[in-house]
């Protein structure tokens, strides 16, 4: 089911007042609702239903649930021979949740061939609050005490929702994806949501699944909606990310 109009939410609507994801537009793909706010409660309700915010400063908050969806499942990440050689030679290390603000600021920085950013000041404030509340996390790649790449996202129950990543050094974003994949393999995470399909992610082992399948898988993973706290407290050498 889809329609040709977008539901408008007000800030006073309950946090879970989203329409069914099946009502999302086909064009633009996945646009479901507009308005509301970026409160922690509304964001958590959205992610648990397969919905996320994506908009720029000139727009109201826009809520999306695209079809299909791009995901990594446990054991899916493909380490190419080239990446394996690079990791063996690299002195980089992975840290978790030590510089969330730096990671999201770097993700928000303008990219080559892009105008502006969808990670607005309002978004940064909202995800910083999610981080303080224990829901949002950063996976960071450090080289010689310099942050050279990373990603941030939400962990709810047994699902991790990747929001954005950046890299200023070769392969740093791949290292961050590999690190969260290894966290999935070693804990109870079952799925990493990448939101939008990209050729790059598919080349690394991501799967493309229909939205209805994604939502059906997601529901039990996010129930109960618990925080994940088993993040390593010490840095990890990227050598240790290699499969045995």
In a shared domain, residues 120 and 133: yes
Mean pLDDT within 169-174: 93
Residues 125 and 219 in one domain: yes
The CATH number for 52's domain is 3.30.70.3550
Kindly report the CATH number assigned to the domain that includes residue 172.
3.40.630.70
> Among 67, 101, 119, where does a domain finish?
67
User: Which of 2-16, 87-101, 146-160 is least confident?
Assistant: 2-16
Residue 110 pLDDT level (bands cut at 50, 70, 90): confident
The predicted pLDDT at position 179 comes to: 97
Share of the chain above pLDDT 90, in %: 90
The answer to whether residues 38 and 91 belong to one domain is no
Residue 237 counted as domain residue: yes
What pLDDT score does 65 carry? 98
Using alpha carbons, select from 108, 53, 80 the residue that is nearest to residue 177.
Answer: 80
Residue 2 lies in a domain: no
| Closest by CA position to 52, among listed 203, 159, 200 | 159
Q: Report pLDDT for 199.
A: 93
Would the pLDDT of 198 be above 90? Answer: yes
Distances (CA, A) of 54 to 59, 120, 220: 10, 9, 25
CB of 130 closer than 8 Å to CB of 165: no
User: Cα(173)–Cα(24) distance, rounded to whole angstroms?
Assistant: 30
Same domain, 234 and 189: yes
Backbone angles phi, psi at 137, to 5 degrees: -140, 155
198 & 234 share domain = yes
In order of 111, 173, 227, the CA distances from 148 in angstroms are 15, 9, 27
Answer whether residue 32 is part of any domain: yes
The answer to whether position 1 is within a domain reads no
Geometric angle at alpha carbon 182, from 244 and 65, rounded to 5°: 145
pLDDT at 230 (0 to 100): 94
Same domain, 121 and 187: yes
Contacts of the segment 206-210: beta carbons below 8 A, 24+ positions apart:
206/70, 206/71, 206/72, 206/76, 207/70, 207/71, 207/72, 207/73, 207/76, 208/68, 208/69, 208/70, 209/68, 209/69, 209/71, 210/67, 210/68, 210/69
**Judgement on whether residues 225 and 170 belong to the same structural domain of the protein:** yes
Same structural domain, 223 and 119: yes
Q: Is the pLDDT confidence value at 138 over 80?
A: yes
Q: Do 45 and 148 share a domain, yes or no?
A: no
pLDDT of residue 188: 85
- The pLDDT tens digits of the residues spanning 27-77 come to 999 999 999 999 999 999 999 999 999 999 889 999 999 999 999 999 999
Given a cut of 80, is residue 113 above it in pLDDT? no
Same-domain check for residues 86 and 11: no
Q: Is 82 domain-assigned? A: yes
Residues 157 and 182 in one domain: yes
Binned at pLDDT 50, 70 and 90, residue 2 comes out as low
Average pLDDT rounded to a whole number, residues 100-105: 98
- How far CA 194 is from CA of 2, 65, 124, 200, in Å, comes to 23, 12, 19, 11
Q: Are residues 30 and 100 in the same domain?
A: no
Over the stretch 141-168, which tens digit does the pLDDT of each residue have?
Answer: 999 999 999 999 999 999 999 999 999 9
Domain end residue (candidates: 52, 67, 82): 67
Contacts of 230 (CB under 8 A, 6+ apart): 187
What's residue 115's pLDDT?
41
pLDDT at 116: 42
Q: Domain boundary at 26, 51, 67, which?
A: 67
Number of domains observed in the structure of the chain: 2
Q: Which domain holds residue 233?
A: 70-241
């Amino acid at each position: 089911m889809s329609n040709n109009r977008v539901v408008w939410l007000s800030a006073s609507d309950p946090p879970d007042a989203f329409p069914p994801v099946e009502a999302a537009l086909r064009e633009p793909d996945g646009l479901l609702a507009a308005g509301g706010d970026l409160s922690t409660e509304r964001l958590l309700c959205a992610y648990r239903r397969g919905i996320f915010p994506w908009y720029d400063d000139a727009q109201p908050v826009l809520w999306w649930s695209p079809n299909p969806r791009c995901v990594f499942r446990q054991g899916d990440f493909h380490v190419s021979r080239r990446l394996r050689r690079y990791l063996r030679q690299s002195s980089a290390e992975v840290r978790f949740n030590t510089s969330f603000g730096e990671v999201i600021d770097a993700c928000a920085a303008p990219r080559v061939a892009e105008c502006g950013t969808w990670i607005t000041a309002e978004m940064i404030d909202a995800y910083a609050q999610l981080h303080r509340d224990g829901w949002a996390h950063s996976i960071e790649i450090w080289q010689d005490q310099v942050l050279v790449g990373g990603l941030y996202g939400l962990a709810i129950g047994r699902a991790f929702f990747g929001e954005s990543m950046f890299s200023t050094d070769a392969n740093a974003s791949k290292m961050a994806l590999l690190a969260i994949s290894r966290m999935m393999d070693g804990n109870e995470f079952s799925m990493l949501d990448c939101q939008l399909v990209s050729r790059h992610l598919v080349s690394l082992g991501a799967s493309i699944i229909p939205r209805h399948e994604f939502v059906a898988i997601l529901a039990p993973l996010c129930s109960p909606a618990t925080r994940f706290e088993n993040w390593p407290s010490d840095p990890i050498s990227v050598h240790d990310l290699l499969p045995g």
